[in-house]
Amino acid sequence: MKKGLSIILFLFSLISFFSCEREFDFRGGSDGLYFSRDTVTFDTIFTSIGSTTKNFKIYNPYNEDLTISNISLAGGEESNFRININGYSDHNIDEVALRARDSLYIFVDVTVDPSDENEPFIVDDSIRIVTSQKIQYVKLIAYGQNIEVFTQKWLGTQHLTKDKPYLIYDFVVVDSAETVTIDPGAKLYFYKDASLLVLGTLNVEGTKEEPVLFSGHRLEEWYSDVPGQWGYIHLLPGSGQSSFNNAIIRNGLMGILVDSVGESESPVEIHNTKIEHISTFGLLAESSVINMSNSVIGNCGNSSVALTVGGEYEFSHCTFATTDYPYGRNGKCVFLNNYYKDDNGNVQIIPLKKANFNNCIIYGSDSVELGTDFEYTEEEIPEADVKYKFDHTLLKLNASYDISNKNFFDNIITDKEPNFVDAKTYNYQLDTLSPAKDFGREAIAKQFPLDLLNMSRLEDGGPDLGAYERQERKEE
């Protein structure tokens, strides 16, 4: 008797279980389905390089469970796009269940085939969603760009042009005794950890209208301010008189590393250049000679400028600023050093012959944005080993920092914010109430009469500090 009762209860449970299963017989009404977006757009995609994955949602607006008859790419198997639904990847999927008032994700990515075009081109398709009473579409649009790929490439004397972007894997080397010129508007994109190494001479010849770009290879907006996507530009010992004019260098592990390069007659020249969103140092120099003007180095995880193991440096009308680095910051905005320790642990002093900062802004989130680490051959004559000067400069220091020595500090602002237009969006132009307005030394401004945006520094009450001249709107 007990055995028979158990069998009856088991059968009853089984019947109850199957009676609770959803049938999904409903196939949709005349209103169709709702979508979180009607178009999925991809930023410029390099040919043969896959995109990031994007997504959208399909919503069931009805109070009944339904079955979507078909979800497919209109381009079929030949489409550049790929879709994934509930973990299932195919260009054509039938009978997709969707519960009442619920939603599901459609994931999309794309790979663009090469073409003969130099200019960006459009690749498009659509996703077709079929229910019993309606066929609906979500558009897919990607902008393709043909590229020239360098993999462990050694370059002889040549021009890199703006015709097509360059994608660098691993590294590219400017060979010794060779000169590579990068023309206005050229774009160099770097894969993860890839770097540009210079044994010869590198001349970057951008213009205000067509700057030269060095950046990571991910072009989606999300990556625009993410540091550490590639390596750095390394001017190696013995390389020639390299120069950078109207360059944008961003998203690297470092910006420019200058290692024992330049002489007083042939310094490295960096002008009208922006170095931003860097994991460590924007400009790291060792025993080198550099002139820099009208330039911005910002949003760096360590120092914007680190001048180590001596050298000679001249900075005029530059803005060095890191106010809100979200990945953990380690270092002062400007760091100066004049020695190293050899393999035996002995201190080897290399004099810092000159480090001048004229009409500059040096600002950041720390209370003191100047770091120094010096050794002296003779304590009584420190100037033999260290010479630096901040002249007509806004330099963030706290009240206890000694700025009484005029050989080091002359006409500086230490206790005021520069009042950038919007440092959170990396706009380091000056607000109308900035204390840096009209504070610059005119003799320096006359050497650099136009700012980073080609605005005159000599047409109002005085030159402003930093790379940008504030232009007040005149009353009509």
Instruction: Specify the range with the lowest mean pLDDT, choosing from 88-102, 298-312, 357-371.
Output: 88-102
Beta bridge partners of 393: 412
Q: Note the pLDDT tens digit of each residue in 6-27.
A: 554 444 454 444 444 556 778 8
Residues 130, 137: contact at Cβ < 8 Å? no
Instruction: Check whether 115 has a pLDDT greater than 80.
Output: no
Give the span between the Cα atoms of 58 and 39, in whole angstroms: 13
Location of structure tokens 């066929």: 135
Q: Report the amino acid identity of residue 105.
A: Y
Q: How many CB atoms lie within 10 A of CB 201?
A: 20
Residues 105, 57: contact at Cβ < 8 Å? yes
Instruction: Check whether 250 has a pLDDT greater than 90.
Output: yes
Q: What is the pLDDT of residue 324?
A: 86
Q: What is the pLDDT of residue 360?
A: 98
Superfamily covering domain 34-144: Subtilisin-like superfamily (2.60.40.1710)
Instruction: Check whether 76 has a pLDDT greater than 50.
Output: yes
Q: Note the pLDDT tens digit of each residue in 177-192.
A: 999 999 999 999 999 9
Q: How many CB atoms lie within 10 A of CB 345?
A: 6
Q: Note the pLDDT tens digit of each residue in 362-420.
A: 999 999 999 999 999 998 899 999 999 999 999 999 999 999 999 999 999 999 999 99
The whole-number average pLDDT for the span 298-319 is 97
For the chain, domain boundaries: 34-144, 147-447
Residue 283, Cα to own-chain centre: how many angstroms? 15
Residue 107: pLDDT band by 50, 70, 90 thresholds?
Answer: very high
Give me the DSSP letters along 411-455.
EEE-SS---EEEGGGTEEEEPTT-TTTT-S-HHHHHHS-B-TTS-
Of 185, 138, 177, nearest to 156 (Cα)?
Answer: 177
Share the mean pLDDT of the chain. Answer: 92
The whole-number average pLDDT for the span 207-218 is 96
Q: Note the pLDDT tens digit of each residue in 121-134.
A: 899 999 999 998 89
Give me the DSSP letters along 200-216.
SEEEEE--SSS-EEEEE
Q: Note the pLDDT tens digit of each residue in 276-289.
A: 999 999 999 999 99
Give the span between the Cα atoms of 170 and 376, in whole angstroms: 41
Q: What is the pLDDT of residue 44?
A: 84
Give the span between the Cα atoms of 225 and 251, in whole angstroms: 7
Residue 267: pLDDT band by 50, 70, 90 thresholds?
Answer: very high
Residue 65: pLDDT band by 50, 70, 90 thresholds?
Answer: very high
Instruction: Specify the range with the lowest mean pLDDT, choosing from 12-21, 136-145, 158-167, 283-292.
Output: 12-21
Residues 305, 257: contact at Cβ < 8 Å? no
Beta bridge partners of 135: 130
Q: What is the pLDDT of residue 19?
A: 44
